[in-house]
Amino acid sequence: MRKQIIRIATAFLLAAGLCCSCNRGQVTLVEDEQTYTLDNGIVSAVIAKASGDLVSLQYKGQEMLATRMDAEGHPDLALDPPGANPHGLNPGMTDHQYGFWSHDAMGPRDTRDAVATVTINPARNGRKRAEVSVKGIAEGRKMGTGPGASQDGQFAADVEIRYAIEDGSAKVWTYCIFTHPESYPASAIGEARFCAKLAPIFDWMSVDKSVDFHYPKDHFAGDKYVYTAVQSENPAFGWSSTTEGIGCFILNPSMEYMSGGPTKVEFMGHRDTNQAAAPCILNYWRSSHYGGAEVSVAAGEAWEKVIGPFVIYLNEGPDHDAIYADARAEAAKEAQAWPYAWVDSPAYAKPAERATVSGRIALDDPQGPKAFTRLQVGLTAPDAFWQRDAKHYQFWGTAASDGSFSLKNVRPGRYTLVAFADGVLGEFVKEGIEVPAGGTLDLQDLAWKPRREGREIFGIGTPNRNGSEFRMGSDFRDPEVVLKYAKEFPKDVTFTVGESDPARDWPYLHVPHNTADDVKVLPFFGIMGTGRATPYRIRFQLDQAPAASAQAVLRLAICGTAVPALEVSVNGAKAGNVALQQTRDGVITRHGSHGIWYETDFPFDGRKLKKGWNELTLTVPAGSLNSGLLYDYIRLELKD
């Protein structure tokens, strides 16, 4: 009732003009022994000095988090006895009740205190902005909790967590600075993200356009992996309340600090089964999902990375559609404001330190398209596999159809330029890009001549890093899609080039064929059962027999893998096996649209082909129904 009265009073003041932008947002910062409280009359954020956790977040008097309160209505921060969890919770990441970074500033719960500091004092800037910092120093211990972490922590690095608010805004900015000095030992990071567990009032989850639905507490979700989506395509995601007409979202103004580039599939929201089904928002910057990402730091290596700042945005509207639309609009505004001039840390590159890198990629492929469709261009770390890289920064953008691109706000350093496009098999790579501090770097014209091993005999699908154009390509979220294959293709696949349609006749996934009636679908574990070997047959014609010296190359673009090899047969005779590279990225078990993309070749003697009709067969071996692969594109080339 008290919170409702505060919200009504705030609304009255707004209507009366007493909380206008000129005077309502007088930012205040109050601290006591355990917490900082940042307040601007719209939002109030309480941060624990011991950990850097966001223990309370209020919007116009309404608590937004699943925070337990003490008898006086304050966040419950009672300390346990020495050696226990000082959060006042049971040990373990899943017992957090509010907003937290998985690598907090507390470390493995020893007697050392984090260093709490006011980094922007509102009393010194006309009460326009406030920021606080909570920093944990590792020095012989490991930091972090969550999946993969042991009782003594996980990652040997200092962790500094900051929160900021500004005048007249319904936003809280947060970021985390990881620092590994040369004196620290070798270390690797596991699951790493910010998570906010929300109040029970939130019952509508909006992750992307296909995951935007009413999700009340009593809704049985089954498998939370059906709610994953591409991070770069969804900079705004979160929850709204159909009863209160308010929302809580995370906005990513940049993807430079995230992992895996523009194709990374990730968790962004679900209900937590360990906290009375609390709604969760998750901003993963490093995970093991769908091929995962890596942060490994060597002994003697100095490494530092800033994750964020990103925004926790609180809003309201007449319905969930309006609330979500508003969040997306605010995300676009934040992207325009990036990088933030107000951030003051040596680890964060200021706007004046960043550069613009431009150029034009010219496509030279007589057998391919003449213009680009959705050309993605990125600057990535040298000697790093960008799809699995979380250690470094990445800078991506979409080029024009003529190949011209401009990547803004690039941090100075040495990079590799990478590009890929729909309709073009392969990847453009140019190494040794030196980006200076400030100014511009014009790379001018860059020639991309996609690799060809000979004339193209056929191509099935579209190289676009996923299987969306294939049969069942939009059904990847269905946990029973593997069983659906066996029902829709009881005699498996026979694809006739020139007659068959990929959208009708070629499934996006290739899995063992289920023949049992009693198989079970288990959340998080996929299909419990085995199937027989599954052949996919491709029929095609040649006008004449290949020359005696002809070399054929089967080129496979794979976007999800859970099997080590495919068997290849040509005109009924076994030709060998295609070794697959990423043998386990979980994309089938976890219902992803795609995982790690790669291309692999299978060369064979062209004399195995003949004039007239030919048949090439790809066979997934018998085994677990969770095994197999996802196709992006298949091409046969012949060098006569």
The CATH number of the domain holding residue 431 is 2.60.40.1120
Task: Give the pLDDT score at 221.
Answer: 64
Q: Are residues 157 and 40 in the same domain?
A: yes
| 343 within domain boundaries | no
CA distance 375 to 399: 5
CA distances from 524 to 222, 265, 586, 587 (A): 9, 16, 10, 11
Cα→Cα distances 337→265, 330, 342, 600, Å:
25, 11, 11, 41
Cis bond before residue 546 (omega within 30° of 0): no
User: Which tokens hold the place of 608?
Assistant: 């195995």
pLDDT-wise least confident of 127-141, 227-241, 263-277: 263-277
Q: Are residues 51 and 133 in the same domain?
A: yes
Place of tokens 């613009």: 356
Q: Which of 379, 413, 448 is the last residue of a domain?
A: 448
- Give a yes or no: residue 602 inside a domain: yes
Residue 106 pLDDT class (50, 70, 90 cuts): confident
Query: What CATH code is carried by the domain that includes residue 30?
Result: 2.70.98.10
**C-beta separation of 326 from 246 below 8 A:** no
**Quick one: 306 and 410 in the same domain?**
no
pLDDT tier, 11 (very low <50, low <70, confident <90, very high otherwise): very low
pLDDT in tens, 108-124: 666 678 999 999 999 99
For residues 438 and 501, state if they share a domain: no
Q: Is residue 388 assigned to a domain? A: yes
**Do 547 and 582 fall into the same domain?**
yes
Least Cα distance to 41 among 169, 173, 172 occurs for 169
> Domain for residue 345, yes or no?
no
Q: Would you state the pLDDT for residue 72?
A: 66
User: What sign results for the dihedral spanned by CA atoms 621, 622, 627, 632?
Assistant: positive
**Whether 120 contacts 342, CB under 8 Å:** yes
CB 374 within 8 A of CB 396: no
CATH at residue 556 = 2.60.120.260
Same domain, 312 and 364: no
Residue 316 domain boundaries: 2-337
Q: Residue 185: is its pLDDT beyond 80?
A: yes
Q: Which of 273, 268, 267, 269 is nearest to 222 (CA)?
A: 273
Task: For residues 149 and 107, give the distance between their C-alpha atoms in angstroms, rounded to a whole number.
Answer: 11
Residue by residue, DSSP assigns 208-221 as ETTEEEE--TT---
Same domain, 331 and 429: no
Same domain, 401 and 266: no
Parallel, antiparallel or unpaired: strands 99-101 and 62-63: unpaired
Q: What pLDDT was estimated at residue 555?
A: 98
Backbone angles phi, psi at 494, to 5 degrees: -130, 110
Phi, psi of 294 (to 5 degrees): -130, 140
Would you say residue 342 lies in a domain? Answer: no
End residue of a domain, out of 429, 448, 467: 448
**Residues 362 and 294 reside in one and the same domain:** no
- Which of 308, 337, 366 is the C-terminal boundary of a domain? 337
pLDDT digits (tens, 9 = 90+) for 501-528: 999 999 999 999 999 988 988 888 899 9
Is 538 among the domain residues? yes
For residue 512, cis peptide bond before it (omega within 30 degrees of 0)? no
pLDDT given at position 219: 78
Looking at the structure, tell me whether residues 373 and 272 fall in a common domain: no
Contact 507, 462 (CB under 8 A): no
Report residue 14's pLDDT band, with 50, 70 and 90 as the boundaries: very low
Taking only the tens place, the pLDDT of each residue in 378-434 is: 999 999 999 999 999 999 999 999 999 999 999 999 999 999 999 999 999 999 999
Beta strands in 463-622 (DSSP E): 493-496, 509-510, 513-514, 520-522, 526-528, 530-532, 534-542, 551-561, 565-570, 573-579, 598-605, 612-620
- Answer yes or no: is 344 within a domain: no
Q: Name the pLDDT band for 67 (thresholds 50, 70, 90).
A: confident
Regarding whether 488 and 396 lie in a shared domain, the answer is: no
Q: How far apart (Å, rounded) are the C-alpha atoms in residues 188 and 294?
A: 8
pLDDT at 85: 42
Number of domains in the chain: 3
Both 632 and 486 in one domain: the answer is yes
| pLDDT reported for residue 524 | 84
What average pLDDT does the chain have? 91
Q: What pLDDT was estimated at residue 275?
A: 52
pTM: 0.92
Instruction: Give the per-residue pLDDT at 1.
Output: 38
Q: Is position 174 within any domain?
A: yes
Predicted local distance difference test score (pLDDT) of residue 349: 97
